Amino acid sequence: MDTGFPHRISTGHRRTLVAATTMTTLLVVLGGVVCVTESARGCPDWPRCYGQLLPPMRIDAIIEYSHRLIAALTSPLILAVAIIGWRTAGSATWIRRPPIVSLPLLAAVVIFGALAVLRGLPPWAAAIDVGFALLVLALLVAASAAAHQSVRPGFVDRWSLESGIARWSAVAAFGVFVVLVSGVLVASAGSTVRCLGCFVPSAESSAGGLRGTFQFARQLLAGATGVLIAAVAIRAWRAYGRDPGVRLASTAAGALLVILSTISVLAVTGGPTTPLLVASVATVVSLWVSVVALAALSAFRRSAGD
């Protein structure tokens, strides 16, 4: 059965989607690194750094400026895939619309980033910033997954949660999202719990009061989400192991979960050092990508009737 879409989704279009998704992943990782290394004030002005085009040779300034540079390279890529999809993807809704929807979210993230440097952000605004960044990345992952599955016979451009794997992958992705965004809201001032990498346990969860209770509940949710990710990854690999996209996403999710568990153990036994927190940021963002990809790939696969 002809998919009806491959003639509209060129190899160049798919590669541009993958490039935009990869760059956005790097951008979100660097945002977390800026946070855990406390480099947000490395450049106190915006968009320049100390009034110059190049930052001073200080690690905090270099980290902050690298984040801005990647943002400047990533934004045109996202705009490009939005325009290409709008003009060439036709009725392929899940390839055409997600990059377009991501544009206002991206604009908000850029504005929040500038305000974070110039004025700082209250927790609610920082939570929106993190949430929007994760949603932009998820939308690009979904579009890339749809483009990948569109070359398969019988593909139908419809996100279906009829498959248990698709449904529980979506639940797992929602769990990751809640854990990461809620960390910004419940963390105390200056705590790295507010940063993206912190599935890593924190001493704040043992603190008294309402904040400690919320932190404990958040870590329980993180643990339950981790168990769910492991279960779904194993099931997906067994059920759809011949699909290279699903196989890659499920294998990556399982491997990243093991890495994150190792980082958590090291953080508990030796303290949450900066290298561990940076590794945690990269691992958590990659885990978010793999779980969203697994949900999307299995949802479109179910739509294809497999």
Question: Looking at residue 301, what is its pLDDT?
Answer: 66
pLDDT at 2: 40
Stretch 114-119: mean pLDDT, rounded? 77
One domain, residues 96 and 210: no
CA distance 166 to 178: 18
Regarding whether 166 and 150 lie in a shared domain, the answer is no
Which of 12-26, 91-105, 213-227, 244-258 is least confident? 213-227
Q: State mean pLDDT over 18-42.
A: 90
Rounded mean pLDDT, 6-30 = 86
Q: What residues contact residue 227 under an 8 Å CB cut-off, 6+ apart?
A: none
Query: For 195-235, what is each residue's pLDDT tens digit?
Result: 775 555 554 544 556 667 777 888 888 889 999 999 999 99
> At CB < 8 A and 24+ separation, what contacts does 218-225 make?
218/179, 218/182, 218/183, 218/186, 221/175, 221/178, 221/179, 222/175, 222/179, 224/175, 225/172, 225/175, 225/176, 225/179
- Sole residue written with tokens 């709008």: 86
Answer whether residue 43 shows pLDDT above 70: yes
Domain count for the chain = 2
Domain identity same for 173 and 150: no
Checking if the pLDDT of 6 tops 50, the result is: no
Residues 123 and 205 in one domain: no
* pLDDT > 90? residue 303: no
Sorting pLDDT into bands at 50, 70 and 90, what band is 304? very low
Q: Phi/psi at 119 (nearest 5 deg)?
A: -130, -20
Structure confidence at residue 118 (pLDDT): 74
pTM score, whole prediction: 0.89
Rg (CA), the chain: 20
Choose one of 113, 132, 157: the last residue of a domain: 157
End-to-end Cα separation, the chain, in angstroms: 13
More confident residue, 1 or 100: 100
| Residues 10 and 116 occupy one common structural domain | yes
Domain that holds residue 214: 158-306
Choose the final residue of a domain: 157, 182, 215: 157
What pLDDT digit, counting tens, does each position of 141-176 carry? 999 988 887 776 656 667 777 778 888 999 999 999
Residues 126 and 168 both lie in one domain = no
User: Please, which pLDDT band fits residue 7 given cuts at 50, 70 and 90?
Assistant: very low
CA distances from 227 to 5, 59, 169, 231 (A): 36, 37, 12, 6
Last residue of a domain, one of 157, 176, 197: 157
Same-domain pairing of 170 and 269: yes
- What tokens were used for 245? 């996209």
- The per-residue pLDDT for range 253-278, each reduced to its tens digit, is 999 999 998 988 888 788 778 888 88
